[in-house]
Amino acid sequence: MIPVPGFDGARVGVLGLGRSGLAAARALAAGGAVPVCWDDGEAARAAAEAEGFEIADLGRERAWEAGLALLCVSPGIPALYPAPHKAVEQAWAHGVPVDNDVGLLFRALADEDFDSFDEPPRVVCITGSNGKSTTTALIGHILEAAGTPAQVGGNIGLGVLGFEPFHDGEVLVLELSSYQIELARTLAPDVAVFLNLSDDHLDRHGGRGGYFAAKARLFEAGAPERAVIGMDEPEGRFLADRVRGRGGEDDGVIGLSLTRKLPGEAWAVTARKGFLAETRKGKQVASVDLRELATLKGAHNHQNACAAWAACRALGLAPRAIEAALKTFPGLPHRLELVAQKDGVAFVNDSKATNADAAEKALLAWPRVRWIAGGVPKAGGIAPLVPLFDRVACAYLIGEAAEAFAKTLGDTPHVMCGDLETAVARAAADAQPGEAVLLSPACASFDQFKSFEHRGDAFRALARRAAGLSDLQEDPA
């Protein structure tokens, strides 16, 4: 873990005791602080108490009587919208600063003595509405394949304070959600990546503007040495304009695009018709054919590849090393994950597609699908996907969103299935050679599952059963 400095002997509140919260409590204790922990869930409190942590309801005045130096809030807990948690209100009332584990990581980095290091660690942070996890994992894979030590975490994998102690020359690769960025008091990435923006988490941020502002903090408060920015949306172009002029080579920006050349960019990475191209000062310096990369299928993954390429180039890696690593990337679970094949039918786990924009990417990746959708609906539902309904042989609807999705689907064939097991069985029975049975829910999972991972694992097991594969068998394809 990364010990958090600066709180020796001080009591520090830790609100939320999931993966990141428990890691924060351990890291604070390792740095000499006395964590005072709370979670609204009894099981989480019991787990923290079993580790010896003090438990106190931080939403009550009594917990603050002995004084707290800081309140560390886990990302899933609202600090402002739609309403601040009672513990956050208490911190404000007592004049106690509120931070999170990301802020504490950068505090630890700033406090570390790197004089004995030949090359101090560098930090790459990735944000955006869709593609963060794939891009983060891909950067980590490229670095490791090129012989550069790397640790990957944040919104994916390890909580950031669960990293191993810093090593000479390594790179920390952090996926950061808007929840994590908005509250961090310190942000100081060497390279920051902004992929895209679509409507998501709007209640948490008070609307689209607040959502974008949360992500933009990574570039404005963090002032990265190099900003990798998707230019296909106005928010990205706005952000690039804000970053430019801070000095440094090429105005500090590497532009990304899937739709057009970026002739005005001093440094750009684009992907058009399946070919990635890197240009600097108007001259092409590298090109890669992405079309045969099975784990980076679809235009959205081509953007992820561009972003990872740009970030690794900003870190000094050579084009040949990056290209070789792209070809060996294993892909991520739950994101266009091919879990089984039978009689020309592909079974694809895209459980991480929790909004319409993410589901759009999956529908574009397969020409004809048996689409399993539904769960806890997001704002706007699946209305943005109407132009893609001609790709849907039939939709199999589950969860709370089923009735609303059925109305939007209209004349597009659809079946009310209720649960995932029924949907997979019906879709597998109906599917024809050349089609994909695609779980891409465009919804959160919490009506029937603990997480999108839980939902994806359930789909994988059901799909493999439908394809006649045991848990121990390899897919014959």
Question: 111 and 61 share a domain?
Answer: no
Question: 94 and 116 share a domain?
Answer: no
CATH number of the domain at 52, please: 3.40.50.720
Report whether pLDDT(476) > 70: no
470 is in an annotated binding site: no
- Domain total for the chain? 3
Question: 246 and 172 share a domain?
Answer: yes
129 is in an annotated binding site: yes
Percent of the chain with pLDDT over 70: 96
Listed residues 326, 346, 372: the one ending a domain = 326
CATH number of the domain at 365, please: 3.90.190.20
Question: 67 and 152 share a domain?
Answer: no
476 within a domain of the structure (yes/no) = no
- d(C-alpha 22, C-alpha 13), whole Å: 12
Average pLDDT, the chain: 93
204 within a domain of the structure (yes/no) = yes
327 is in an annotated binding site: no
Question: 35 and 57 share a domain?
Answer: yes
pLDDT score, position 470: 58
Question: 341 and 453 share a domain?
Answer: yes
Question: 89 and 130 share a domain?
Answer: no
2 within a domain of the structure (yes/no) = no
Residue 8's pLDDT band (boundaries 50, 70, 90)?
Answer: very high
474 within a domain of the structure (yes/no) = no
Q: Per residue in 107-161, pLDDT tens? A: 999 998 888 899 999 999 999 988 899 999 999 999 999 999 999 999 888 899 9
Residue 246's pLDDT band (boundaries 50, 70, 90)?
Answer: low
Question: 32 and 152 share a domain?
Answer: no
Q: Per residue in 450-459, pLDDT tens? A: 999 999 999 9
Report whether pLDDT(249) > 60: no
Listed residues 99, 125, 157: the one ending a domain = 99
Question: 250 and 394 share a domain?
Answer: no
Listed residues 326, 356, 383: the one ending a domain = 326
Report whether pLDDT(265) > 80: no
Report whether pLDDT(6) > 90: yes
pLDDT score, position 475: 43
Residue 472's pLDDT band (boundaries 50, 70, 90)?
Answer: very low
Question: Which residue has better confidence, 67 or 264?
Answer: 67
CATH number of the domain at 209, please: 3.40.1190.10
Cα 26 from chain centroid (whole Å): 24
Question: Which residue has better confidence, 199 or 393?
Answer: 393
128 is in an annotated binding site: yes
472 within a domain of the structure (yes/no) = no
331 within a domain of the structure (yes/no) = no
Question: 433 and 294 share a domain?
Answer: no
Percent of the chain with pLDDT over 90: 80
3 within a domain of the structure (yes/no) = no
298 is in an annotated binding site: no
Question: Which residue has better confidence, 318 or 335?
Answer: 318
If you average pLDDT over residues 192-197, what whole number do you get? 96
21 is in an annotated binding site: no
Supply the range of the domain harboring residue 401: 337-466
Residue 250's pLDDT band (boundaries 50, 70, 90)?
Answer: low
Report whether pLDDT(268) > 90: yes
281 is in an annotated binding site: no
477 within a domain of the structure (yes/no) = no
